[in-house]
Each structure stands twice: as C-alpha cells, then as structure tokens.
Amino acid sequence: MKSTPTADQELLRDSVRRFMKSEVVPLIARHDVEKTFPFEILKGLAQFGYIGGRLPESEGGMGLDQLTWAMLMEEAGYTWLSLRTMLNITNGPINKIAAEGTTEQKDRFLKPLLACERRCFTGISEPGTGSNIAQIQTRADLQGDHYVLNGRKLWITNGAFADFGIVVARTFSPDCQGQLSTFLVERAVSPYDARRVDTMVLRSTGTAELSFDNVKVPRANLLGEEGSALKRMLVGLDGARVNIAMGAVGAAQSALDLSIDYARTRTQFGKPIGSFQLVQKLIVDMKVRVEAARALGLRAAAALDAKTDDARMACSIAKLYATEAAHEVASMALQVHGGLGYATDYPIERIFRDTRGGTIPEGTTEVQTLIVGREILGMSAIV
C-alpha cells in the first residue's frame, strides 16, 4: 500500500496551508475566547474538498480517497482542532444522507449542507451511554404520520449552533421493536431544547445537551430503514477514527514547530535554550512521536482505501497512539515554553487542552485497546 503523498496531493496540501494561514489563523484566538465558530470559512474550505469531498462527483463531491482526506484532516488539526472537529461533524451527515437518504431528503438536507447553508449535528451519545452505543435509551414511537421522540443526548458537537441533525433512537413500530434507527430532526419543525455545555477542550464547537420531550418528527424524516442504524454506525467508525488520529497528528506537528522555533530564539544564560541537552531531548521525543503517529495514521487510511483485512485494527491503533501521543507532545511543548506555555493568548495552551479531547470520542483509548486485543487474539474482552 502506498501511504506517501503524490505530487497532486502535495500541491493540494500547499494550497490548503496558504488558505489556513491567511483566512483561518487570524480568527482563532477571538473565537476560542468567545466560544463561537466562524462558519463563513466553510465555503472557502469547500474548494479544497473539505465539504463533501469524499462524495463522488455525481453527488456533488470530489471523489477523494481516504489517504487524501487524512492529509486534509492533518492540515485542519495543525491549524485548529476545533476546525477539524466541525468539519468532521459536518461531513458525517453529508456522507450519511448521500448514502441512505431519499431524493426528497437529499434536496432538503444534503444540498444545503454542501452549499454551507445549514448547520448540523449527530446525536448519538447520551448521559448514561458513552462508547456502548447499543445501550442508547432515546426512543421513537411511531404514531400515525410521525414519530414521537423522547430522551436526551449529551456531548453533541455543534448542538448549540445547528438547525437540524441526525438523531439515533430506539424505535417502536409494527415493524420495529426496539432496534436503533436514525432520524433527521429539524429544530424549526420539531422543536427540542439545546443547552450549551462548556468544556475544557474544543471551546468553539458548540457542545450541547439536547432534550427531546414528546418531539414530533415527520415519518418522512426516517433516514434509512427502521432498525438498521447500529450496523451502519459501526461501519463508519473506522474512517472517523482515522480522522481524529490525523487531526491529532496535525496538532502535535504544530506544537513541535512552535517549540523548535522557540528553542532556537529563546535565550537563557547567554545562549539559545535549544543548545541545552534536556531541551533537545524534549524536541527529539516530540519528533519521534509525531513521525510515528503520522505513519500509523496514513497507513490506516491506505488500508481503508485498499480494504485490507487488518484495516479495522490499523484504524484503532492509529487512533489509540496518535491521540495519546499528541497530548504527550503538547505537554512537552508546554515544558519547552516554560511560563509562556500557560498564556492563554499563545497557541500552546489551547493545543494542550484540545489534544486531551482526542482520546475520548469515537471510542476511548481503553476501548481501542480492547478492539486491538480482540483483533490480535481472536478473543473479546468487551462484555
């Protein structure tokens, strides 16, 4: 499998970097403090494939492969992990509606998403349900021409900003007795409550708790077949794990670059701190972790493209290692910067916080460990 960039991919990456530097970087500090997100930048990013780029051209995308997408996620993570997260939460519904939606659903939901005219969320996690999505308790009862939703969703990215989303619920109808289904829920049509949840990480991503109290959702908003959501969600997890891994690689590379520059220019005792042995040890350890994480992430993306037998394990390994390594790198970067690393108006403090967030979503580090163990030994330790 080839996991090194082609000439075209390098040109795309260079173009993305120029756009990020000129159009995105100047906005980050203000939005991170105000806990808002500059949605206007998404239209500019769409030209590079960041919005629906994985879709075939016939569906309005660019037909990007997993390897190219992984590189785009690294660049987004390098710039701002909140941006990578918002891109992920936008493209998830795009891919899902394109794959499972009716013609009418694609007209109402997919086209506006691709045009960056609507904001969406995916509602899976609940207060009592984390990695074990099979235990989702939110329910949808079919009553005539609509479903009635009851339950709560927690840690919902973009939930505070979105005007619609995909909600996973345990469904009860003549044809479905408790299996999971997915629904397109519009806030204007099916009003629900959204409570902002402030977090230490990814402050610009509009994390929220959503409450559904006898919320009526039109029957036409059922996405896909009743009872088929669990299997479909599990299929998409591998790609999501690579996305998080490569975003973590980007953030780690950013922390490393900042540390190299600082070590070369900051002087103590009459010479650059980069000349001190222990500072060099930190820089080298950071470099090793970044290179290893990138190699694992690109290898996993290439495995998904090639549909190899070990693709699932490769994705879990990449997610496990890259997210943990990124926070280790950010911690070492903070150490290199000393007191300056604590300053909230300097990127290291934000990178340190945000990289901590990558070890939990799409399956925690512990869950990834159990998945890899199962793949190696052929025995499951997951009850």
With tokens 């910067």, the residue in question is 337
Contact 82, 37 (CB under 8 A): yes
Active-site choice (23, 226, 362, 375): 362
Our CA angle for 210, 211, 215, nearest 5°, is 120
d(Cα 343, Cα 258) in Å, to the nearest integer? 14
* 193-196/146-156 β-pairing: unpaired
What is the CA angle 232-238-240, rounded to 5? 90
Residue 4, CB-side half-sphere exposure with 13 Å CA sphere: 1
The phi, psi pair for 132, rounded to 5°, reads -90, 80
For residue 221, which of 190, 177, 178 has the smallest C-alpha distance?
Answer: 190
Amino acid at 350: R
Residue 10 known to be catalytic? no
- Please give the backbone phi and psi of residue 114, each rounded to the nearest 5 degrees, phi first: -65, -30
* Residue 6 DSSP label: P
Catalytic residues: 362
